[in-house]
Structure 1
């Protein structure tokens, strides 16, 4: 078996440090081991597939929120010279997989529905990067288990991030046993990297970046009636602006649509029977999403809190500017309430919004959404 190509490892290390410098920071000590392992993986992937009998070992990168896991795997992805790669947020991947499996009239040509849907999603990719893998819903556990086994049995290198160690997946004690075979598979087939530095980087003011930063980080949390709303180009909607917007498989009531900005009420989006596919559909169409009537999450229903957390996840991953008007969402939310499994991540991301200086909403434009560059590293 030929050894990894060392110049590719060195090139990937250099790529990480240059990417960090462009963002105005340096690679943290807690991230160095992950950088080294990802550089080694890049060198392994640089070898022709016919020179080794099996793909490199897959990677599972986990740690608390805000430790730069997404930035690590996104930077790795960007530095891979091969075009045979795919990067997806797990919300998006699982939604597309579910749609492919359940689509009426789908032809599978003798394959299982899961295999056929994976073929559509992955194609001939050699590398698949998942961001924010998690397993909370018992109803999805079996499909996720099938997904992982199918991926690990293919000649595809899988790199995934998570806020949970493998043993912490599917934390509900009533259903954890259903996921134990998948946990065992992850621990046997993947190298598990722990990124647990002491700093949540999202809560630390970032230095100015040469590449202009991300749209999500220009989002805001403002109280209702804030006099700055007009200055920001966000006057309250008039009744005549009320309309409906198409989400995934439904229409949602909107207080206003202004070019590529949509203005929605918290109750209409988070207290109604909406889901991640709806938020993904909105993110595809609207670079700016205004949500008003945001209550302290302690006053929202458990389902409303979970939907809000999912919305923040999608907005961050799809680089949507999120403007929240209302109370501080995290006020009065105790650790014992529902959503604790995702609340740390939500709070970390909301901290990015709350520390941002007010920047006017850009005027409506209609660029080709498909041509937008991928989000900058988080």
Structure 2
């Protein structure tokens, strides 16, 4: 049997993790849940089933190690667990609700919650946040059903429970979910002073040219270090459209220039992308000209969105920023984009916005 603190200590000793006192302080909260799940109280002959362990809501700034601690916790479990991004989970729920309603099911929440609870004893979510009114209106009933079924929820978030769906439409209908979270989950802050994600990239090369095999190898090394080889697909729903990030992990995404600029995406799509990620790895940016003018316009819009959102960009490109777009309509306007690309390579990016 491996405990969460034991696994953390082994990773530190092996050099895979940098020791962090705030992370160490958070380990007992995970270990409490693991231990209770591994050795649950026995049910008496005339007594009701024992209550499941209280879950955990771990919040704090980006890059503090919340997702890493979640990975360690899930790795030590001896019960069925599902580890997923909260946004992806809620998209699945909405899709399943739509399917069941088409089949004539009046209240799809109950069968959906039962199916989820039957498949996993523990739900481990990354980045709980509510921005969609549809999610806000169904999440309370869904999680009430999950808790009633004995499901243990462990989640990370960048904000306090009281700040979820802040300023959202009809927020008063959402407030009971916040009370439910506080009742069923232990709320803990991971108050580390170190942004480990940016620490890994501080001073590192993040723009590689030309976009060849050597550059790709370096990008692969960075991606492996950031994700530890664990990734998933994230689909953003924007005004009825789907924007797919083919490789995603803990607010970090990896996609090609064609994935993001070769399709008919617009400002709303790029704003949603910039809101969803803190690090974007973008590969194979080509030279731009009148021959790929539409792609160039989208690229400019994307960089503007990433810049304003202070997203860390790691890229491979056919040329240095100033040489990407040197002729054709729009080349003069591209100078601002080139300047931003250069600024985003700085060791202290992203700093505070002026």
- Work out whether the TM-score is over 0.5: yes
1:89 to 85, 88, 100: 85
Of 8, 21, 31, the residue aligned with 1:29 is 21
Which residue is equivalent to 1:60?
57
| Inter-CA distance 174–309: structure 2 relative to 1 (3 Å threshold) | closer
CA contact (8 A) 1:57 1:189 kept: yes
Matched, 1:39 2:31: yes
TM-score by length of 1: 0.60
User: Of residues 126, 130, 133 in structure 2, which corresponds to 1:131?
Assistant: 126
Deviation at 1:229, TM superposition (A): 1.4
* 1:99-133 deviation per Cα after TM superposition (whole angstroms, max 9, x unaligned): 1111157769x894122223334424221111111
Aligned CA distance change for structure 1 residues 41 and 111 (closer, same or farther; 3 Å): farther
Aligned partner of 1:229 in structure 2 is: 211
Q: How far apart are the structure 2 equivalents of 1:331 and 1:38? A: 36
Contact 1:68 1:201 in 2 (8 A): yes
Question: Partners of 1:38 and 1:81 in 2: how far apart?
Answer: 14
Deviations 1:225-269 (A, max 9, x none): x4x1145588xxxxxxxxxxxxxxxxxxxxxxxxxxxxxxxxxx9
1:301 corresponding residue in structure 2: 267
Structure ranking higher on relative contact order (CA contacts 8 Å, 6+ apart):
1
| Pair member with larger Rg | 2
Distance change >3 Å, CA 270–CA 46, structure 1 → 2: closer
| 8 Å CA contact retained: 1:271, 1:301 | no
Cα 1:307–1:273 shift into 2, 3 Å? farther
Q: Is the 8 A contact 2:74 2:83 kept in 1?
A: yes
Instruction: Report the number of matched residues.
Output: 269
1:100 and 2:109 aligned: no
Report the 3-state secondary structure (helix = DSSP H, G, I; strand = E; otherwise coil) of the residue aligned with 1:59.
strand
Aligned residue among 278, 282, 303 for 1:329: 303
Alignment of 1:135-214 (within 5 A): 135-172=130-167, 174-205=169-200
Structure 1 Cα separation of the partners of residues 64 and 31 of structure 2: 19
Q: Work out whether residues 56 and 155 of structure 2, in 8 Å CA contact, stay in contact via their aligned partners in 1.
A: yes
* Cα pair distance change 1:120/1:323, threshold 3 Å: farther
Structure 1 residues not aligned, in runs of 5+: 1-7, 208-216, 235-268, 335-342, 356-378
Which residue does 1:258 correspond to in 2?
none
8 A Cα contact 1:221 1:324, kept in partner? no
1:20 Cα deviation (Å)?
A: 3.8
C-alpha distance in 1 between matches for 2:259 and 2:87:
25
Structure 2: runs of 5 or more not aligned: 44-48, 217-235, 286-298, 317-354
Distance 1:173-1:88 versus aligned 2 partners, 3 A rule:
closer
Q: Deviations over 1:198-224 (max 9, x none)?
A: 1111111279xxxxxxxxx99x656xx
Task: Choose which of 88, 97, 115 in structure 2 pairs with 1:120.
Answer: 115
Name the structure 1 match of 2:7.
Answer: 15
Aligned residue for 1:123, secondary structure, equals helix
